[in-house]
């Protein structure tokens, strides 16, 4: 990513948004499909892979670790895997750019192999906590040879020669942490168990099953899961079809809700209940989101959704919903700004350790555009007035979701909204501006 030259972009109020769109493939599933295919024996295919910078960095890492990764002319990805424990030592440091998911999951996968590998990322990723995954991985036999302060990137890991299984009670609600331990556990004999107090997205579990692993997930306590993986399976190659990413759909969806006269159909959106917290919240706010058709999309249920402009009202968002919408609070902040009344979003601690401090960033994005916002502990409180003044310039802090949220806000605010840099949108949604312009958005 070229971080020297900034590429600002401005969103202006215009006509209604209308049309039928399919947003790109789910980012979480795309990373996992590549990693598991690289750990299977034989050739897997991935159709509908999200071809964004984050995912392409994972694809490069899989090649550097010895898998054969190719893209057909028709866009299908073919991965010839090396088997569990079979990664080769990479010649150069693995660079994950802006991607926490790619980096943490691959560290987990490498931790179970007897190789040394170095991991790095951009300035945003270098600030993010890695100790949360390194602690359990060290218990499984991996050794951290070099690390920046606090266990951050860049770091060098010696994977375990004889990986140990682990029973791990996770202290943070993080699917990346759960996945790192499970991927390391693939190479360990016996059972590796992750206990989470609050269930997080379960794509790793679903895909592990799809690739032939034995894995059982049971309820644990009121909100949690206990997930047990049988180690040392021979993963079978599989075909994965990636559904549309609900976290990407969130941006044009909120745009359709707040731009007067809009009517947009979103095709094939993944409806995994551990990802649809935003849809639930928007409906509670009065959003017209209609399920046109539901289908079984293989490992995940998918639906076509029709979204029409709606007058929204403020709501309270409970903390236990956070894992099912952890990446959606920025765009929910925009919806809340256009709602009538106060929206209180509770329990947002994890937002502080994403690509940026998203709790502060959401507050700043809204404040520079005339919205009254408070942060109380881990809660974000947005005082919506039914309309937004706009006119602000939003700092994006190398964070794609700030960039897209601020642009959506500008499509319905009285004055245009400008972002300082649109480059990082490419990490998760490379054709965001093209898709939005196709619906009628004024982005220039
Ligand atoms: O596992 C994943 O694919 C992801 C998990 C979440 O991160 P955490 O595990 O850090 O909560 C989320 O924010 C990220 O965009 C993708
Ligand atoms: C937090 C995100 O991704 P990652 O952790 O993979 O950088 C995100 O996409 O919002």
Query: Cβ < 6 Å from ligand 2: which residues?
Result: 99-101, 327, 354-355, 401, 428
Q: Which two tokens stand for residue 373?
A: 């916002």
Annotated binding site for 3-phosphoshikimate: 27-28, 32, 174, 176, 327, 354
Give the DSSP H or E segment for 157: strand 152-158
28 CB near ligand 1 (under 6 Å): yes
Give me the catalytic one of 54, 327, 364, 399. 327
Which is the closest atom of ligand 2 to the Cα of 103? 6
pLDDT tens digit sequence for 171-221: 999 999 999 999 999 999 999 999 999 999 999 999 999 999 999 999 999
Read out DSSP for 321-367?
A: GGGGGTT-HHHHHHHHHHSEEEEEE---GGGGGSSS-HHHHHHHHHH
Task: Name the 3-class secondary structure at 110.
Answer: helix
Which string of DSSP letters, residue by residue, matches 394-436? E--TT-HHHHHHHHHHHTTSSB-EEES--GGGGGT-TTHHHHH
Same fold, 9-24+243-443 and 27-241: yes
pLDDT at 3 over 70: no
Average pLDDT of the residues of the chain: 97
**245 Cα: distance to centroid of ligand 1 (angstroms):** 13
| CA atoms of 344 and 12, how far apart (whole Å) | 27
Q: Where are the alpha helices (DSSP H) in 14-99?
A: 27-39, 53-64
pLDDT of residue 298: 76
pLDDT digits (tens, 9 = 90+) for 93-103: 999 999 999 99
Q: What is the CA radius of gyration of the chain?
A: 21
CA–CA gap between residue 248 and residue 328 (Å, rounded):
9
Q: Rounded to an integer, what distance in angstroms lies between the CA atom of residue 118 and that of residue 93?
A: 5
- Residue ranges of alpha helices (H) inside 116-245 are 123-126, 131-139, 175-185, 203-210
pLDDT of amino acid 371: 98
Among protein residues, the one whose CA lies closest to atom 14 of ligand 1: 101
Ligand 1 pocket member 328 (CB < 6 A): no
What atom in ligand 1 is closest to the CA of residue 27? 3
DSSP code of residue 151: G
Q: How far apart are CA 160 and CA 180, in angstroms?
A: 14
Provide the percentage of residues in the chain whose pLDDT is more than 70. 99
DSSP reduced 3-state for 63 = helix
pLDDT value at residue 274? 98
Q: pLDDT-derived band of residue 297, with 50, 70 and 90 as boundaries?
A: confident
pLDDT of residue 112: 98
Assess whether pLDDT exceeds 60 at residue 344: yes
Distant-in-sequence, close-in-space partners of 389: CB < 8 Å, separation ≥ 6:
369, 370, 413, 414, 415
How far, rounded to the nearest angstrom, does the alpha carbon of residue 78 sit from its chain's CA centroid?
23
Structure confidence at residue 5 as a pLDDT band (50, 70, 90): confident
- State the ligand closest to the CA atom of 101: 2
Whether ligand 1 lies within 6 angstroms of the CB of 176 is answered as yes
pLDDT in tens, 101-158: 999 999 999 999 999 999 999 999 999 999 999 999 999 999 999 999 999 999 999 9
Atom of ligand 1 nearest to the CA of 177: 9
Q: Which atom of ligand 1 is nearest to the CA of 327?
A: 13
Give the pLDDT band of residue 423 (cuts 50, 70, 90): very high
From 176, 329, 355, 427, give the residue whose CB has the most ligand 1 atoms within 8 Å, as the site to mutate.
Answer: 176
What's the pTM?
0.98
* CATH class as words, domain 27-241: alpha beta
* Cα–Cα distance for residue pair 69/407, rounded to 1 Å: 35
**Whether the predicted pLDDT of 2 surpasses 80:** no
Alpha-carbon distance 387 to 393, whole Å? 18
* For ligand 1, mutation pick of 35, 54, 101 (most atoms within 8 Å of CB): 101
Give the angle 369-374-379 at the CA atoms, nearest 5°: 125
- Between strands 288-296 and 215-220, the pairing is unpaired
Ligand nearest to the CA of 427: 2
Answer yes or no: is pLDDT of 1 > 70: no
ipTM: 0.99
Edge-to-edge, what's the strand order for the sheet holding 263-270?
18-21, 263-270, 301-308, 288-296
CA of 164 relative to ligand 1 center, distance in Å: 25
**Domain residues of the chain, as ranges?**
9-24+243-443, 27-241
Report pLDDT digits (tens) over 274-295.
999 999 999 999 999 999 999 9
| 327: annotated active-site residue | yes
Whether domain 9-24+243-443 has CATH 3.65.10.10: the reply is: yes
């Amino acid at each position: 990513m070229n971080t020297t030259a900034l590429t600002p972009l401005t969103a202006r109020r215009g006509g209604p948004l209308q049309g039928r769109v399919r947003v790109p493939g789910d980012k979480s599933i795309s990373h996992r499909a590549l990693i598991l295919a690289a750990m299977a024996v034989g050739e897997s295919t991935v159709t509908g892979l999200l071809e964004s910078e984050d995912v392409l960095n994972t694809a490069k890492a899989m090649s550097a670790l010895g898998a054969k990764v190719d893209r057909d002319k028709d866009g299908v990805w073919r991965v010839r895997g090396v088997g569990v424990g079979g990664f080769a030592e990479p010649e150069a440091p693995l660079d994950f750019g802006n991607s926490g998911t790619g980096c943490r999951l691959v560290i987990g996968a490498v931790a179970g192999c007897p190789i040394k590998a170095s991991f790095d990322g951009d300035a945003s990723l270098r600030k993010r906590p890695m100790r949360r995954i390194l602690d359990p991985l060290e218990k499984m036999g991996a050794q951290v040879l070099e690390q920046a302060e606090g266990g951050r990137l860049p770091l060098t890991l010696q994977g375990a020669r004889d990986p140990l299984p682990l029973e791990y009670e996770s202290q943070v609600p993080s699917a990346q942490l759960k996945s790192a331990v499970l991927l390391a556990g693939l190479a360990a004999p016996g059972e590796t168990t992750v206990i989470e107090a609050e269930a997080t997205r379960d794509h790793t579990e679903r895909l592990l099953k799809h690739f032939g692993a034995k894995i059982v997930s049971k309820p644990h306590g009121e909100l949690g899961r206990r997930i047990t993986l049988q180690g040392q399976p021979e993963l079978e190659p599989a075909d994965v079809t990636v559904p549309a990413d609900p976290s990407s759909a969130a941006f044009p969806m909120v745009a359709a809700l707040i731009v007067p006269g809009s009517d947009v159909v979103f095709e094939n959106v993944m409806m995994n209940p551990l990802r649809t917290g935003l849809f639930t919240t928007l409906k509670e706010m009065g959003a017209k989101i209609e399920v046109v058709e539901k289908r079984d999309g293989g490992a995940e249920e998918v639906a076509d959704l029709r979204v029409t402009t709606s007058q929204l009202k403020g709501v309270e968002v409970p903390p236990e919903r956070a894992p099912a919408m952890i990446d959606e609070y920025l765009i929910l902040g925009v919806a809340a700004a256009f709602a009538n009344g106060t929206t209180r979003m509770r329990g947002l601690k994890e937002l502080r350790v994403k690509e940026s401090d998203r709790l502060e960033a959401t507050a700043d994005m809204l404040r520079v555009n005339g919205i009254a916002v408070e942060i109380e502990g881990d809660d974000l409180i947005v005082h919506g007035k039914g309309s937004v003044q706009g006119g602000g310039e939003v700092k994006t802090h190398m964070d794609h979701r700030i960039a897209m949220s601020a642009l959506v806000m500008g499509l319905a605010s009285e004055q245009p909204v400008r972002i300082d840099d649109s480059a990082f949108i490419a990490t998760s949604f490379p054709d965001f501006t093209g898709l939005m312009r196709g619906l009628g958005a004024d982005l220039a």
